[in-house]
Chain A
Amino acid sequence: MPRLSYRRALTRALADELARDESVFLLGEDIRVAASNVTAGLFKRFGPERVLDTPLSEQAFTSFATGAALAGMRPVVEFQIPSLLFLVFEQIVNHAHKFPLMTGGQCAVPVTYLVPGSGSRTGWAGQHSDHPYSLFAHVGVTTVVPATPADAYGLLVSAVRCDDPVVLFAPAGALDVRADVDLAALAPVPLGRARLHRRGDDVTVVAVGHLVHDALAVAEELADEVSVEVFDPRTLYPFDWEALAGSVARTGRLVVVDDSNRSCGIAGEIISTVVERVRLVAPPRRVTRPDGAVLPFAPALDRAVQPSREQLRTAIRHVMKDG
């Protein structure tokens, strides 16, 4: 089977949707030359009107996409830098997200916001290293964080076809993941559906995005001492609560590893919802960035504020010891 990289899975999803549906178009900065290396080859294949290179005007082109969506298009907006989402939070939340309700259902805003390289890219420092997916889950915008190439393909296709705004975070830590993939079997992955990567009996580890791979590695390392179930929500909003409740009901223990700042991060929501529904045998744990984290530049400092495998191991051992 061919090896497919996460990044090329995104490229393939965009190409397939552009080819399938005339109303799909891409816009963003430097996408003509594929500076993020996601839109590679698409400008040549689909032309400047469907791969629309924009000036550095994030707020205007984000609302331009809203307007185009109101007129029946399905724009995909690429952001080179995750921190730009702070700049366009207003345009996404106040307009794209609110229009259907505020207009009493007169319109839909099917825009996909694609963020290739979210989270730390080591050495990109404070204003290029954020991972603000919890913010979008909080406001109720469909929020997707694929971990694998096949899921990146399938979730991006579903995002483009969704009638609501969707933010898709492609974590920098996952972009170089490769997998053996049957290209003919690539298919849309439904939004809001979790994936169980590894079955286990003792503890459910919920891992978001690139951290799925860390969780799988830690589960393997600890295989002799504890049976770890690795649960990948894939979509953070809407969250697959049924699947998670089922998993935790079997294991009785919960650890969440999440690259958000701790306060009001998605890990807090996951733990709250689980403990509302399931009686755990040990207090749950979460591994996150610290409160209010700004990623410092020096590599050792950058790593120090991201969730680590060591922290995850410790958390798993805690929940095993505590109950």
Chain B
Amino acid sequence: MTGADPVRLYRMVRLIRRFEERAIELVRSGHVVGGIHPYLGQEGIAAGVCAALGVDDVVAGTHRGHGHVLAKGADPARMLAELCGRVTGLNAGRGGSMHAADFGVGVLGANAIVGASGAIVTGAVWARRRRGDDTVGVSFFGDGAVNEGMLLEAFNLAALWRVPVLFVCENNGYATTMPVAGAVAGSIPGRAAAFGIPAAVVDGQDPEAVRDAASAAVDRMRAGGGPELIEALTYRFDAHHTFEHAVRLDYRPPEEVARGRSRDPVDIQGDRLPAPVRADVDAEVEAVLAGAVQFALAGAEPDPADALAHLYASGLTARTGGG
């Protein structure tokens, strides 16, 4: 359990919130190139789900993946260095925001292909289980992914072979700009039901509700149960991607955004804490992130001569591209 109690859960949602805000500052200052897909508003899901996991469990996430990586236990400083493309980053500057991974804490990577993580996590957990581990896995994805055939195929494999994978659908209402109502026939729990996978719908803005649902599912899976699905209802507070800060796309009415932002997981969890405790956690998180920013910006830039380092695990070297 990396953060099951109320204070630790608050600490994680707050850490993810402030991490994203600091990252956006670094996008604006030009230190993070390529922008990010902010997780703002959805922090309670990663924090709540990962609070139910152990360090040996595995997760894989999405292009909006910073929260999953942090909640599973990655070092925020190395994560931020990765966003800045430094050799000190989690992926030595080779992955960036959309591919941040930390195998040491069971993060098989943020993954920028929608719906891709389901089958990968299923295979990883199946393999661990064959060796006698009691590993469970989590595949995070958004509402857009439930229309990807590959994910539905993964539901089938996991259910068929009873692989304990918790499929967590973060339904933030939009696949980029496409509203769920315009994209999803049937329902998200209905997708699970079709494969005989138990499904629960939870308030994704309440970190404890998410944690409770995830813990119950993980307990059942550890006791020998097959895969489960949680649909966490949430709202993305910011842009699909930071490019929207410069290019306004008209797809969410301002009233809807205001209503969505009124249920803030940081406040929902923070209000459960005595004010001085919350203030202490906030101060601690600020200090961690101040250190993280300093660490990230102090990291060395990668050497272009090593641009294709790690391309092959076998040691094969690729031909160069010059004349």
Contact = CB atoms under 8 A, between A and B. Distances in A.
B313 A104 contact: no
B92 A104 contact: yes
A90 B120 CA distance: 13
A71 interface: yes
Interface in B55-106: 58, 89-95, 99, 101-104
Interface stretch (A53-61, A257-265, A297-305): A53-61
B29 interface: no
A64 interface: yes
A64 B154 contact: yes
B311 A101 contact: yes
A90 to B, nearest CB: 7
A100 B313 contact: yes
B157 A70 contact: no
A75 B119 CA distance: 14
Contacts of B131: 72
Contacts of B318: 140
B289 interface: no
Contacts of B313: 100, 105, 107-110, 163-164
Given A103-B103, A106-B101, A70 B124 contact: yes
Interface in A40-93: 49, 54-55, 57, 59-73, 75, 90-91
B27 to A, nearest CB: 20
A162 B121 CA distance: 22
Given A67-B119, A104-B94, A60 B154 contact: yes
Given A57-B157, A140-B318, A163-B313, A104 B91 contact: yes
B309 to A, nearest CB: 7
Interface residues of B, number: 47
Contacts of A57: 153, 156-157
A contact residues, range: 35 or more
A35 to B, nearest CB: 19
A62 B149 CA distance: 13
Nearest to B120: A67
B108 A100 contact: no
Contacts of A124: none
B124 A68 contact: yes
Nearest to B313: A108
Given A55-B156, A67-B127, A68-B124, A164 B93 contact: no
A60 B156 contact: yes
A26 to B, nearest CB: 14
A102 B157 contact: no
Contacts of A66: 119-120, 123
Contacts of A110: 313
Given A100-B310, A100-B312, A101-B310, 17 more contacts: A60-B119, A66-B123, A69-B123, A70-B120, A71-B124, A94-B116, A102-B99, A103-B91, A103-B103, A103-B310, A104-B89, A104-B92, A104-B310, A106-B91, A107-B101, A142-B314, A238-B316
Interface of A: 49, 54-55, 57, 59-73, 75, 90-91, 94-95, 99-110, 140, 142, 162-164, 192, 238
6 contacts: A57-B156, A60-B150, A68-B123, A73-B130, A95-B120, A104-B94
